[in-house]
């Protein structure tokens, strides 16, 4: 509230000299301070504080028999080592002279460039990426709701194989490192996996046979 006090300027007597009236202004700041504190309290209570960013890394449970290799459909395994080295192989790992008579596993080198790891994952995960793009087009045309789009996209990323319908299982990425690999490369690989819409991935221990093959390749 504001008040304006005015004096009468004197001049009541016959010979008194009249003076100009003076005005004094007083502003009550109490309502403004109350409003400021109310607004401050409102913004503090309604603001979202920054949250720490945590990368979710799934770890598979230990198998009952460590000697038996777990079978994974449509899998690609990455082996990380020193000097930003990244190698990969497709499918299960086959030892030399295995009982099934399958050719032994060989590893291929790649890198973290757009023409390397990124292009490789896009090519291997093309069915899932195409399916998610079709869902995205439906969402843009408002044929499906936002929650439905997210649910179906997650289902595509974790799709199981169905031979009767010709459906291939979603791509699974296994990440293995030796004691010379750096943590940054693991993070970069997981980021690339997320960018390429791969929903199934895990960090697992490197087998001794894989370590021997990797050491022979990096000598």
Is 62 part of any domain?
Answer: no
What the block records as the tokens of 29 is: 């700041």
Q: Is the four-CA dihedral 201, 204, 210, 216 of positive or negative sign?
A: positive
* CA-CA-CA-CA torsion sign (85, 90, 93, 94): negative
Per-residue pLDDT, 69? 53
Number of domains, the chain: 1
The three-class DSSP label of residue 146 is helix
Q: What is the DSSP string of 7-72?
A: ---S--SSSPPP----EEEEE--HHHHHHHHHHHHHHHHHPPPP---------PPPPS-TTSPPP-
120-136 pLDDT, tens digit each: 999 999 999 999 999 99
Task: Tell me whether residue 207 is in a domain.
Answer: yes
User: Does residue 202 form part of some domain?
Assistant: yes
CA gap 157, 171 in Å, rounded = 8
For residue 38, give every residue at least 6 positions away whose Cβ sits within 8 Å of its Cβ, in sequence order, or none: none
The number of angstroms, rounded, from the C-alpha of 142 to the middle of its chain's C-alpha atoms is 26
* pLDDT of 14 strictly over 60: no
Is residue 102, in this structure, part of any structural domain at all? Answer: yes
Q: What is the CATH number of the domain that holds 91?
A: 3.30.420
pLDDT digits (tens, 9 = 90+) for 165-216: 777 788 999 999 998 999 999 999 999 999 999 988 988 889 999 999 999 8
Give the range of the structural domain holding residue 196, as residue numbers without chain letter: 75-125+171-218
Residue 117 carries which DSSP code? I
- For 102-135, b where at least 16 C-beta lie within 10 A, e where not — what string? eeebebeebeeeeeebbebbbebbebbbebbeeb
Reported as a pLDDT band with limits 50, 70 and 90, residue 99 is confident
118 DSSP 8-state letter: I
Whether residue 211 lies inside any domain: the answer is yes
Give the model's confidence band at 116: pLDDT under 50 very low, under 70 low, under 90 confident, else very high: very high
- 200 inside domain: yes
Residue 100 lies in a domain: yes
């Amino acid at each position: 509230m504001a008040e304006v006090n005015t004096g009468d300027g004197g001049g009541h007597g016959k010979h008194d000299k009249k003076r100009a009236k003076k005005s004094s202004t007083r502003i009550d700041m109490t309502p403004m301070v109350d409003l400021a504190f109310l607004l401050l309290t409102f913004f503090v209570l309604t603001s979202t504080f920054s949250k720490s960013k945590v990368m979710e890394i799934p770890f598979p449970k230990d198998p009952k028999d460590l000697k038996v290799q777990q079978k994974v459909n449509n899998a690609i395994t990455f082996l990380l080592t020193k000097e930003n080295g990244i190698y990969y192989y497709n499918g299960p790992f086959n030892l030399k002279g295995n009982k099934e008579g399958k050719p032994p596993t060989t590893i291929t080198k790649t890198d973290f460039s757009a023409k390397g790891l990124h292009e490789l994952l896009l090519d291997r995960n093309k069915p899932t990426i195409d399916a998610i793009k079709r869902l995205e087009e439906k969402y843009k045309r408002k044929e499906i709701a936002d929650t439905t789009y997210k649910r179906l996209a997650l289902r595509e990323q974790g799709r199981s194989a169905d031979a009767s319908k010709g459906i291939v299982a979603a791509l699974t990425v296994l990440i293995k490192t030796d004691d010379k690999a750096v943590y940054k490369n693991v993070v970069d690989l997981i980021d690339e996996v997320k960018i390429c819409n791969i929903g199934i991935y895990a960090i697992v221990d490197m087998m001794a046979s894989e370590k021997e093959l990797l050491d022979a390749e990096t000598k």
